Structure formats: C-alpha cells, structure tokens
C-alpha cells in the first residue's frame, strides 16, 4: 500500500505565505499573530489518480432526492433553533462564554438521545466523576449513555466509529498528536474541527462540538471554524442572569435567525415557553425613556423593551453606551434625530439598553430606539400599551420592514393598544384595524410630533 506522508507547515492566515517555522510576525505581510500550523497530507495514490476517475457533471434532475429525517432532541427550544431537530451526520457547534451552560445543555441532549440512539459523550475538560455528578443533578439516567474521558482526538474518533451521535466537550481541550502546537491553538482547533467534519460525513455520525468564545471573539475561539460547520449555535446572556438565549448564527438546514430562550435552574437548563415577561418590565411607562419593540427573530416575535437614559456630559467627549443595540446604529440614530428632528444630544451621555440581555440586530428596531431616545430627551413617558417598529433612513424617513403582520398580531395578543409602524406597511395590517390603534408614520419627526405633542399636521 502506498505510504501517506504527513508534514507540518506554518501558513499565514492573512496572506497565505508558508514559513519554515512558527513566527510571531509574518515576514511577507507584516501582520502579528497570524501564522497558524497546518497539516499537509500527501498520499502518492492521491497524486496518481487516473484522469477518468473524477466524478463527471450530472444533470440536476438526475440527482436523487435525499429526504432529511430530523431527530428530536427532546428539548423543544433547541429543536426550534436547529430548524426542527437534528439532521443526521451534521456537524453542530455550540459556543458561548465560559460557564454559560453549554455542558449542561449537551448532557441533557445526550441523556434524551441515548434512549433511542448510541451516544458517546467525550469529555476532555472534566473528569468522568464530574460529569457523573452533573448527570445526577440533572436526573439523567445513565444506563445507555457512554462517557469517555479523553483529550486525544484520534482516540475519540476511533472509539466513536460505531456511534450515532458524538459530543466533543470541548474543541479547545482536544488535540492531534501529529501537530506540534498545544491544544487550544488556532491550528489545533481548525485541524481538529476538519477531522471531525470528515468523520461526521464519512461515518454518518452527528457530531456536536462545544467551544468557548474568548471575550475578544476571534483568537483561538470557535469563530475560526464557523465556515466548516453545518450549524453554529451561540449562547448569549449575562452570567448572573438565569435566562440564556441560544441563537443560530449559521444553519445549512434551517433559518439562521432563530432564537431559543432558556432558563438555568438547579435541575438543568429548560426552554422557556412564555418569554413575554422576560424582555419587558411591569412598571414601564411610568418613567420617560422606554418603549416596547415587537422584535422578530426567525419564526417568532418577541416584545423587547428598550430603555434609554441621558445624563449631562461632565467631560468634553459625550459617551455612547448601547447594550444589546449596535454601537454604530445608535450613533447613526442620534445623528438622524439631531439633524431631522432637531434634538441635539452632543451635551449628553447616552445609555441604551435592550432588556433581558437580548441583542437586537434587525433594523426594524430603529423607530423604537429613536422614540425611546426622544422620550428621554423630552422627559415625557410613552404609554405602557404602545409599541413601535420601523427602519429609519438617513433622511429620517421611516422605511417598511419585514413581517409587519406578525408583529401587529403578536402586539394584539399581548394586549398592546397602540402600534406605531411605517406607513408603507399599512396595507398589510389593515385587517387588524378594529383590534388595535394603528398609527402609520412616514418620517421620524412626524412620529415624535405625533406621540409627544399630539400634533397630526407634521409630515
Ligand atoms: N448546583 C447547581 N445549582 C444551580 N446551578 C448550577 C449548579 N451547578 C452549576 N450550576 C450552573 O451551571 C453553570 C455551569 O454550567 P456548565 O458547566 O454547563 O457551563 P459550561 O458553559 O459548560 O462551562 P465551561 O465553560 O466551564 O465548560 C454555572 O454557571 C451555574 O450557573
Ligand atoms: Mg463545560
């Protein structure tokens, strides 16, 4: 049999230059910390592939359809985020800050799946006794679940060959002995992940990979391997909060907008069915500066309260402190309000918070944020039963948004009395006219005049 030759090379992840060894700075592009170790496998038989052996192009209509049969994890929220359940032989990354609940969720999933399939939980971080302790706390019956305490990835893969599901906890703790770099380095993480990908596809095993995200995001974190994965899920939320959000940031088999809401309890992590009280406060509307946005993530609409606070700038530079809302988007909205609605914010420090630790990424939250800021500026509160959504352009115009119908329907269900929305979305929500007061607006100045001064003449 022809011998497979493996060599290690050091490649700059920015410019692709190959160096003889690891260096702190790439000699070609001059960037620091970009050189990554990679394994090159050269098999003589691979080189000598006969010309006629490669797969020929085929008509799309001749390709037989594969029906995806999804498997339920037993945790409804997780199934929803995955797009309806686990797709067999897929590679799923579950990332998040240390201590957020990744191992807890995966242990629960393993417990449920082990009833119907062969599941191997490879724990590279904790000892088997520690995992057992957690299983006892989560009341998982361990008769069918197989545990492995191993850090060498080749051993894990060899052992997992006759399992249906493999869970690797975590990718930063496993290593390949062929590589010189230590476990957790970018080179190791990338190579381990692609090894697991090949294993998942060739062995038809579903592989879950647990990964930590460093505060900086990219360095040695799971960010570097997002493109290899079929599905990437990230846990969000403050460590001190009991509520955690699981967000799909990539999904080859479903929407990448889905969000699941979980509650961390002593006996495990559970999906929250009624999440409506989590992102809005009971006593909203009494103080100026807050409004509710019917925010859509994937298939669901969640009402999220935006709170803002202005305080006089003490030092020369005013501070902008958004939490859960994009920094640049906040600066953009402040500039629009200043120019188009005549509200100067340059002498104020501005604080903006989306309640419950959720991150609002869609532009439909613009109008809500702008109204909350205007409410703070005017020191006039917005009624508790009012909600608003709409995108704002640089000219101050309110642009239509997606899924207006869903947002209005959910606002009605939750007992809101008034919804402020883009005028160009009006035709889609006409049918709800008797159930909620619909206020269509075309411009941010008009919206502010209408809400705070009751002035209907402004356009
Ligand atoms: N006895 C307990 N009662 C209640 N909550 C607990 C208990 N033990 C642990 N927890 C919760 O579980 C969390 C840790 O969960 P878990 O180990 O799944 O997190 P992780 O994301 O895997 O962390 P790591 O990055 O360390 O692997 C803790 O932050 C804590 O809130
Ligand atoms: Mg863990």
pLDDT digits (tens, 9 = 90+) for 269-297: 888 877 777 788 888 888 899 999 999 88
Closest-approaching ligand to the CA atom of 104 = 1
The predicted-structure confidence for 132-142, as pLDDT tens digits, reads as follows: 999 999 988 87
Q: Is residue 179 a part of any domain in this protein?
A: yes
Q: Is residue 276 a part of any domain in this protein?
A: no
Same domain? 94 vs 125: yes
Closest-approaching ligand to the CA atom of 239 = 1
Model confidence at 318, pLDDT cuts 50, 70, 90, reads very high
Domain holding 241: CATH number? 3.40.50.300
Same domain? 294 vs 348: yes
CA distances from 426 to 274, 363, 437, 440, 441 (A): 29, 18, 12, 7, 9
| Cα 296 to averaged position of ligand 1 atoms, centre (Å) | 29
Same domain? 144 vs 224: yes
| Cα 440 to averaged position of ligand 1 atoms, centre (Å) | 46
Residues whose CB is less than 8 angstroms from the CB of residue 426 and which lie 6 or more positions away in sequence, other chains included: 438, 440
Counting ligand 1 atoms within 8 A of each CB, the residue from 97, 98, 99 with the most, and so the one to mutate, is 99
End-to-end CA distance of the chain: 80
The predicted-structure confidence for 145-201, as pLDDT tens digits, reads as follows: 999 999 999 999 999 999 999 999 988 899 998 888 788 777 888 889 999 999 999
Same domain? 36 vs 103: no
427 has pLDDT over 50: yes
Q: Considering only CA atoms, which residue is closest to atom 5 of ligand 1?
A: 266
User: Which pTM does this prediction carry?
Assistant: 0.78
User: How confident is the model over 291-304, as a mean pLDDT?
Assistant: 88
User: How confident is the model over 291-310, as a mean pLDDT?
Assistant: 90
Q: Considering only CA atoms, which residue is closest to atom 23 of ligand 1?
A: 99
Same domain? 100 vs 235: yes
Length in residues, the chain: 459
Counting ligand 1 atoms within 8 A of each CB, the residue from 94, 95, 102, 262 with the most, and so the one to mutate, is 102
Q: For residue 41, what pLDDT is reported?
A: 65
Ligand 1 atom nearest to 96, measured from its CA: 21
Same domain? 407 vs 434: yes
Pocket of ligand 1 from Cβ distances under 6 Å? 96, 98-104, 125, 137, 212, 264, 266
The predicted-structure confidence for 73-92, as pLDDT tens digits, reads as follows: 888 889 989 988 999 889 99
Q: Which domain holds residue 31?
A: 5-50
| Cα 441 to averaged position of ligand 1 atoms, centre (Å) | 47
Ligand 1 atom nearest to 107, measured from its CA: 18
Q: Side-chain half-sphere of 300: how many Cα atoms within 13 Å?
A: 16
CA distances from 231 to 82, 169, 396 (A): 8, 16, 37
Same domain? 212 vs 241: yes
| Cα 101 to averaged position of ligand 1 atoms, centre (Å) | 5
Q: Is residue 245 a part of any domain in this protein?
A: yes
Ligand 1 atom nearest to 99, measured from its CA: 23
Contact call for residues 229 and 92 (beta carbons, < 8 A): yes
Model confidence at 217, pLDDT cuts 50, 70, 90, reads very low
Q: Of 240, 271, 302, which one is at a domain's C-terminal end?
A: 271
Q: Based on the structure, what is the number of domains in the chain?
A: 3
Q: Is residue 278 a part of any domain in this protein?
A: no
Same domain? 408 vs 378: yes
Same domain? 33 vs 93: no
Same domain? 112 vs 256: yes
Same domain? 102 vs 171: yes
221 has pLDDT over 60: no
28 has pLDDT over 80: yes
| Cα 300 to averaged position of ligand 2 atoms, centre (Å) | 29
Model confidence at 357, pLDDT cuts 50, 70, 90, reads confident
| Cα 122 to averaged position of ligand 1 atoms, centre (Å) | 18
3 has pLDDT over 60: no
2 has pLDDT over 70: no
240 has pLDDT over 80: no
| Cα 134 to averaged position of ligand 1 atoms, centre (Å) | 9
Domain holding 400: CATH number? 3.30.230.10
Q: Is residue 44 a part of any domain in this protein?
A: yes
Cα distance between residue 312 and residue 297, in whole Å:
35
Same domain? 37 vs 88: no
Counting ligand 1 atoms within 8 A of each CB, the residue from 111, 209, 264 with the most, and so the one to mutate, is 264
Residues whose CB is less than 8 angstroms from the CB of residue 314 and which lie 6 or more positions away in sequence, other chains included: none
Cα distance between residue 109 and residue 305, in whole Å:
32
User: How confident is the model over 250-258, as a mean pLDDT?
Assistant: 84
Ligand 1 atom nearest to 269, measured from its CA: 12
| Cα 162 to averaged position of ligand 1 atoms, centre (Å) | 30
User: How confident is the model over 440-456, as a mean pLDDT?
Assistant: 90
Q: Is residue 235 a part of any domain in this protein?
A: yes
Q: For residue 219, what pLDDT is reported?
A: 41
50 has pLDDT over 80: no
Q: Is residue 281 a part of any domain in this protein?
A: no
> What is the rounded radius of gyration, in angstroms, for the C-alpha atoms of the chain?
26
Q: Is residue 280 a part of any domain in this protein?
A: no
Q: Considering only CA atoms, which residue is closest to atom 25 of ligand 1?
A: 98
393 has pLDDT over 50: yes
DSSP 450: I
- Name the average pLDDT for the chain: 87
| Cα 269 to averaged position of ligand 1 atoms, centre (Å) | 10
């Amino acid at each position: 049999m022809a011998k497979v030759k493996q060599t290690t090379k050091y490649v700059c992840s920015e410019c692709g230059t190959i160096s003889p060894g690891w260096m702190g700075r790439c000699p070609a592009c001059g960037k620091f910390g970009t050189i990554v170790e990679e394994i090159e496998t050269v098999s003589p038989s691979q080189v000598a592939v006969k010309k006629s052996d490669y797969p020929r192009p085929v008509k799309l209509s001749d390709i037989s359809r594969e029906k995806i049969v999804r498997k339920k994890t037993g945790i409804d929220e997780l199934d929803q985020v995955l797009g309806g359940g686990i797709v067999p032989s897929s590679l799923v990354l579950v990332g998040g800050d240390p201590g957020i609940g990744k191992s807890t969720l995966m242990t629960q999933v393993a417990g449920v799946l082990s009833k119907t399939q062969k599941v191997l939980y490879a724990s590279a971080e904790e000892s088997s006794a520690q995992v057992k302790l957690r299983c006892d706390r989560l009341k998982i019956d361990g008769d069918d679940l197989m545990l492995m305490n191993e850090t060498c990835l080749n051993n894990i893969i060899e052992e997992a060959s006759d399992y249906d599901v493999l869970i690797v906890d975590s990718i930063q703790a496993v290593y390949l002995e062929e590589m010189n770099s230590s476990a957790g380095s970018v080179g190791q993480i990338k190579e381990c992940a692609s090894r697991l990908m090949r294993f998942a596809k060739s062995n038809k095993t579903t592989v879950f990979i647990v990964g930590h995200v460093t505060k900086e995001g990219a360095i040695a974190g799971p960010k570097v391997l997002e493109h290899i994965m079929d599905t990437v899920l990230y846990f969000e939320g403050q460590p001190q909060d009991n509520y955690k959000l699981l967000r799909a940031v990539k999904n080859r088999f479903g929407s990448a907008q889905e969000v699941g809401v979980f509650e961390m309890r002593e006996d495990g992590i559970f999906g929250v069915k009624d999440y409506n009280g989590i992102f809005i406060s009971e006593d909203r509307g009494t103080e100026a500066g807050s409004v509710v946005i019917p925010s859509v993530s994937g298939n669901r609409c969640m009402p999220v309260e935006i709170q803002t606070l202005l305080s006089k700038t003490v030092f020369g530079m005013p501070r902008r402190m958004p939490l859960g809302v994009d920094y640049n988007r906040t600066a953009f909205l402040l500039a629009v309000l200043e120019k188009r609605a005549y509200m100067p914010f340059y002498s104020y420090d501005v604080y903006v918070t989306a309640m419950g630790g959720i991150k609002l990424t869609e532009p439909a939250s613009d109008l809500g944020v702008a109204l909350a800021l205007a409410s703070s500026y005017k020191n006039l509160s917005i009624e508790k039963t009012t909600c608003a959504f709409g995108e704002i352009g640089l000219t101050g115009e309110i642009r239509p948004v997606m899924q207006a119908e869903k947002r209005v329907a959910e606002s009605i269900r939750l007992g809101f009395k008034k919804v402020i929305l883009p005028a160009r979305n009006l035709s889609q929500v006409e049918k709800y006219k008797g159930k909620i007061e619909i206020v269509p607006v075309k411009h941010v100045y008009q919206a502010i005049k209408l809400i705070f001064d009751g002035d209907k003449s402004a356009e």
